[in-house]
Amino acid sequence: MTGAAFFDLDKTVIAKSSTLAFGKPFYQGGLVNRRAVLKSTYAQFYYLIAGADADQMDRMRDYLKQLCAGWDVAQVRAIVDETLHDLIDPLVYDEAVSLIEEHKAAGRRVVIVSSSGEEVVAPIGEMVGADEVVATRMVVADGKYTGDIEFYAYGEHKATAMRAVASRHGWDLADCYAYSDSFTDLPMLEVVGHPYAVNPDKALRRVAAERGWPILEFRRPVSLASRIAARAPRPSPPVLAGAAVVGGAAALGWRYYAKRRREA
C-alpha cells in the first residue's frame, strides 16, 4: 500500500448523522424515550441544513454522554447490526463509494475517521469497503457504558489519530488524501498532502477557496444493493429466449405430471 485516503463519515460518505440515524431503533429497543427521539430528529434536521460548529459538537457530545450512560454494549451492537442496512444503506453517497473504490484500486487503504461511536462507525466502515476506522470510544465497565469518553475523535484529535495510523503503517501523510464536509475537521484536512472539501459548510468552503483545495459536491445517495444490481451482467437476448423456452417446457412438464397424478 502506497498510502491512504481518510474519509469523514457524516455528510461525506453518508447523507446524515450516523449516530442520530439510530434514534428510532434505540427507542424501539427501550434505550431512549420518545422525547429523545424527537430531539434527535430535530438535531438531524438542523445538522442537514446548517451543519455543526464546535459549540454544537460539544453540546452533542455532552448530551450523548449523558444519554448512553448505563446502556448495555451488547444490546447497542445488536441493534446496530440488525438495522444497519435498512437505515444506512440508502444514505450512502454513490460518489463516495466510487471514490473509495478508486483509491483502493490505486493501492491505497481507506480509513473512516468519525466522531460517532465506534459501535456505529465500524460496521458502516465495513459496509462501504473501508479497511479500518478511527472513531469515538466510550468507557465500558461490566458491559455497560459509564458515560465517560475514552477517546473523542474530533478536531485536532482526528489529526493526532491519523498521524498514529500513518506511523503504524509507514505512510507519508504528504502522499495521503482526506475528505470532509466540516470546518471542525480542518486539522484532519491540513495534515495530509491532498485535502478535499466535500459538501462543505460555509466556513470550510471559504477556507478551501482561499487555499485552492478541490471542492466536491456529493448529491446521489444510493443503496449499495442497487449499485451491485446495476453492475451485474445482463443476459443477452438469446439467453433470455432460451430461459423462457426452458421455463415454459418445465411448466408444461409439471402440468402433465400433476394431471397424471390426479388421474392415478
Query: Is 177 in contact with 6 (CB distance < 8 Å)?
Result: yes
Range from 69-78, 184-193, 224-233 carrying the lowest mean pLDDT: 224-233
Q: Residue 264: pLDDT above 80?
A: no
> Is the model's pLDDT at 149 over the cut of 70?
yes
Mean pLDDT of 214-239: 69
183: exposed, middle or buried (Cβ count in 10 Å: 0-12, 13-18, 19+): buried
Q: Which residue has the higher pLDDT, 90 or 197?
A: 197
Q: What is the mean pLDDT of the chain?
A: 80
At residue 241, what is the residue type?
Answer: A
For the question of residue 94 being annotated catalytic, the response is: no
Whether 244 shows a pLDDT value over 90: the answer reads no
CA distance 264 to 260: 6
**Structural domain spans, the chain:** 3-224, 236-263
Q: Which residue has the cell 437505515?
A: 87
Distances 147 to 43, 69, 139, 167 between C-alpha atoms, Å: 20, 4, 7, 31
Q: What is the mean pLDDT of residues 207-217?
A: 97
Mean pLDDT for the stretch of residues 228-250: 47
Q: Is the pLDDT of residue 256 over 50?
A: no
Tell me the whole-structure pTM to 2 decimals: 0.77
Res 52: pLDDT: 54
pLDDT at 205 over 60: yes
CATH of domain 3-224: 3.40.50.1000
Q: Would residue 10 show up in a list of annotated catalytic residues for this protein? A: yes
Catalytic residue among 10, 89, 181, 201: 10
Q: Which residue has the higher pLDDT, 76 or 256?
A: 76
